[in-house]
Amino acid sequence: MERHERGGADRVGRALTFGVVGPADLVPRVADVVDATPQLRAVRLPYRQEQETVRILRERADDVDAWLFTGVVPHAIADAEQATSLPAGHVSYSGLTLLAALFRLAREGTDLTRISIDTLDPAEVSETLAEAGIAQSAAFTMVYEPSVRSRDVVAFHHDARERQDATVAITCLRSAYDVLRKQMPVVRLAPSLRDIRSAVDALALRTRNRHHSDAQVALGFIELENADPNLEHDLGELGGAVARIDAERYLLVTTRGPLERVTDEFRSAPFIERLAARHRVVQVGLGIGRSAGEAAANASRALARARAQGDVAAVLSAPHDADIVLAKGGSARSGPTDLGRLAQRLGMSRGTLLSLRQFVESAEEQRVTATELAQAFSIQERSARRLLKRLERAGAAVPIGTLNAGQMGRPPVIYRVDL
C-alpha cells in the first residue's frame, strides 16, 4: 500500500483515500460508493468483531486521508479510544435506512405495534416512525455506548420481547444479529445507497477543508519576561520552528493544521500554563494567512490584543478578521450533541436544532454571529442573540471573540456552535 505525504500544499486538490471500516459484508457496499465518486478511492478494512476497530486504525493510519465507518458502532469505539486523529465520519442508519426496513416489514405483514431498536438515537427513531405512520410509543430503543457489548444488545432485545411483548427486533450489530436470528424475528439494518452517498460527500468536504487549512501559514509572536532556552521544546507539539528575535521576543513558524489541533480547534492554548510557570509575562499573538505576510500582519494584531488582555494571554487572528482569545490550558471535548435531549432542555423542537446544525456546518469553522444567524433564518437580530445565549447556557455555544469590522459601537460577538 502506498504511503501518502500528510503535510503541505501538495495534498490540496489530489485524490483522497478513505479507509472504510466495518463488518466484512458491509465494507464492499460502502467502498464501492467511495470508488465511484470522482477524486476518491477506498481502502477496504473489514473486521470480524467490532473490538478490532482500534487496531485497524492504528495499523493503517498512514495509508489513508480519512476514516469512513459503515455505522455508528465502530465510530463510537474509535472515538472512545481517541484513535481518530484523521477526519472521520460514519453512515447514518436513522433516516432512509430505517424507514426502508420499516416499510419492508409492513409489506411482509409484520406486527409493528412493538419494536425493539438498538444503537440509533431515540429522537431520530421517533421522527422516522412518524414518517412511516407508526406510533412513536411503538419503539423501545437502546442508545449505544462504547462500553456496550454484543451480549448487552442481545439481552436488551430479549428483555423487550419478554417484558414489553416486542414482536420484532431491529439491530445495527452483525454480532447481535447472528445470535438473535436463531431466537426471534430480527432485522439487521444495512445502509441505503442514499445514506452512504450522504456520508461520503460530507466526509470528502470535511477532509478537503482540513487539507486546505493545513496548507495555510501560521506565525506567532511570543513575548516573555526573560529569555527562555526551553521555549522550542514547550512549543514542539505545534510541529514548527522557533527563532529568537531579540532578548524577550520569539517567532514561531508553523502551519494552520497543527495549530488548530493543538489548540483544540482554536479554543485553548495548553502551552500557556507551562510558560506561565516560568515567566510572569507571557503574551502570544498567533496569526493565520494565505501568505507569510498576511499571517505576520494578523499575528501582530493578535499580539497587541494579547497585551491588552493582561500579563498572561494568547490571542489568534484569522483572515476573516476575528480575534479569538484562547483559554489558558486545555479544554475538555465532549461527544456529539444529542439534539433530542438538547431540544428538551431548551424547550425547542429538534427540527429547529437540526436546521441550525446544518447552517453551522456550512459556516466557516462552525463560527457564527447573531447577524449571520438572523439573515440565514429571516429572524430579528435580537432573537438570534437570545438563541445563541440559550445555546451558550446549555453548553452548545461558546463566545470565542469579536468581529473586528471597523464599525462604531460594540463589535459583534463570534460564537463557536457545537451541535
Whole-number pLDDT of residue 178: 92
Whole-number pLDDT of residue 225: 87
Model confidence at 404, pLDDT cuts 50, 70, 90, reads: low
pLDDT tens-digit readout, 271-306? 998 899 999 999 999 999 878 888 999 999 999 999
Share the mean pLDDT of the chain.
84
Q: Which residues contact 383 (CB under 8 A, 6 or more apart)?
A: 374
Model confidence at 215, pLDDT cuts 50, 70, 90, reads: low
Amino acid, single-letter form, for residue 177: Y
For domain 339-417, say whether CATH 1.10.10.10 is its number: yes
In whole angstroms, what is the distance from residue 390 CA to residue 68 CA? 33
Model confidence at 8, pLDDT cuts 50, 70, 90, reads: very low
Q: Phi/psi at 260 (nearest 5 deg)?
A: -65, -40
Max CA-CA distance within the chain? Answer: 81
Whole-number pLDDT of residue 320: 59
In whole angstroms, what is the distance from residue 168 CA to residue 157 CA? 9
Cell 485524490 belongs to residue: 15
pLDDT tens-digit readout, 316-346? 987 655 678 888 765 544 445 667 666 655 6
Q: For residue 353, which of 333, 336, 331, 335 has the smallest C-alpha distance?
A: 336
pLDDT tens-digit readout, 375-402? 888 888 888 888 887 787 666 787 776 6
Q: For residue 388, which of 410, 377, 408 has the smallest C-alpha distance?
A: 377
For domain 96-188, say whether CATH 3.40.50.720 is its number: no
In whole angstroms, what is the distance from residue 256 CA to residue 216 CA? 5
Where do the CATH 3.40.50.2300 domains begin and end in the chain? 96-188
pLDDT tens-digit readout, 265-279? 787 888 998 899 999
Q: Which helix (H) or strand (E) holds 259?
A: helix 256-262
CATH code linked to domain 9-91+193-212: 3.40.50.1860
Contact 130, 149 (CB under 8 A): no
CATH code linked to domain 216-328: 3.30.70.270
Residue 359, classified by CB atoms within 10 Å of its CB into exposed (0-12), middle (13-18) or buried (19+), is middle
Where do the CATH 3.30.70.270 domains begin and end in the chain? 216-328
Where do the CATH 3.40.50.1860 domains begin and end in the chain? 9-91+193-212
Q: For residue 83, which of 91, 75, 92 has the smallest C-alpha distance?
A: 75
Which residues share a beta bridge with 284?
A: 222, 314
- CA of 201: how far to CAs of 198, 213, 266, in Å? 5, 18, 25
CB atoms within 10 A of CB 226: 10
Helix axes 370-377, 350-362, angle to 10 degrees: 120
pLDDT at 223 over 90: yes
